Amino acid sequence: MTILLLGSSGFIGRQVKQILEQMGHDLRLPTHQQIDFKSLDLPTNQQNLIKLLTGVEVVINMVGIMSSDTDELEQVHHHSPVRLAKLAKSLGVKRWVNLSALGADSNHQVAFLASKGRGDRALQSLANDDFSVAIARPSLVFGHTAQQYGASGAMFIKLAKLPVLCLPNAGQFHIQPVYVNEVAEGLVKLATIKQFTHDCPAMVVDFTGKTVTTLAEYLQMIRQIIHQKPPSTIINLPMAWAKMGMALIKPFSLFMPNSMLSTDSLTLLEYGSVADYQAFTQLLGHEPMGYKEFLAVF
């Protein structure tokens, strides 16, 4: 099968690429210069894009950004992938697999999830009997590929080293972390196994681990299992104070555009990151690991 991978150099993309190579698929791996979602200009680049897409059966899009620039989020998560998907569909591509995020909703108050939601919805509207669309929505992803960590995982590992943690709401936010290997496995199955899209041209699958925990407990387990240290002392930081602190550093966000330290990040924690994992279990063919299990094998 000929598969176009977008975002193959990223945290999750590296693992997907490795699995597909081991399976013997023919992969096309465009560079950022060939397909740049921040400035995708179809009229100018159409001939080059047509060459990249001709003969492709499946596109897996894993491009995503964290940014304080709402226009940039909308471009990368919504407008560019939809434009490319329309071109792909016109050229006979059969399937589009899109890596989104748990909680993506076009009406979400957090710009990141709103842009993801609008992109997902527009992509699903393109689906028909000849062009299927599968949306994968993972929760907090943990693990590493080629010594590259995901943004949240790297931050949590650093935080867990600290003997004292000052956490908003004492870290009592519900999360359901998922292992990067199983996220990659799920994306590969959405791309390569026809049964998952044959009866449902447009589908959405939440990718979560099987165990719900709190942010505080998650950090304590990372500290215990990875750093092999006794539990941290957790100090409660009132949420109002935390949001005030994030508002104070907001003017400096231009110098750290991909930082996870923001008021939006606190809002996402308040919403929680949990979902039913039964559809993910069906996709994988086995239950996904809980956080204690993947931390143990990490």
Given a cut of 70, is residue 178 above it in pLDDT? yes
Given a cut of 60, is residue 232 above it in pLDDT? yes
Domain for residue 186, yes or no?
A: yes
Asked if residues 25 and 1 have their Cβ atoms less than 8 Å apart, the reply is: yes
pLDDT tens-digit readout, 108-127: 999 999 999 999 999 999 99
Domain for residue 150, yes or no?
A: no
123: domain CATH number is 3.40.50.720
Phi-psi region of 146 (alpha: psi -120 to 50; beta: other; left: phi over 0): left
Q: Sort 271 into a burial class: Cβ within 10 Å, 0-12 / 13-18 / 19+.
A: middle
Count of domains in the chain?
1
Domain of residue 21: give its range: 2-144+179-208+275-288
Q: Residue 56 corresponds to which tokens in the numbers above? A: 């492709």
Query: Tokens 């792909």 sit at which residue?
Result: 88
Cα 287 to Cα 54, 90, 134, 233: the distances in Å are 37, 37, 20, 33
**Helical ranges in the chain per DSSP H:** 11-23, 42-53, 70-74, 80-90, 111-124, 151-160, 180-192, 195-198, 215-225, 239-249, 263-271, 278-284, 291-297
Given a cut of 60, is residue 288 above it in pLDDT? yes
Return the minimum-mean-pLDDT range out of 91-105, 247-261, 281-295.
247-261
Domain for residue 195, yes or no?
A: yes
Q: What pLDDT shows up at residue 260? A: 55
Domain for residue 99, yes or no?
A: yes
Q: φ, ψ for residue 4 (rounded to 5)?
A: -95, 120
pLDDT tens-digit readout, 242-252: 877 776 655 54
Q: What pLDDT shows up at residue 144? A: 78
Q: What is the mean pLDDT of the chain?
A: 91
Residue type, 278: Q
pLDDT tens-digit readout, 186-216: 999 999 987 665 667 899 999 999 999 999 9
Domain for residue 262, yes or no?
A: no
Residue type, 123: L
Domain for residue 30, yes or no?
A: yes
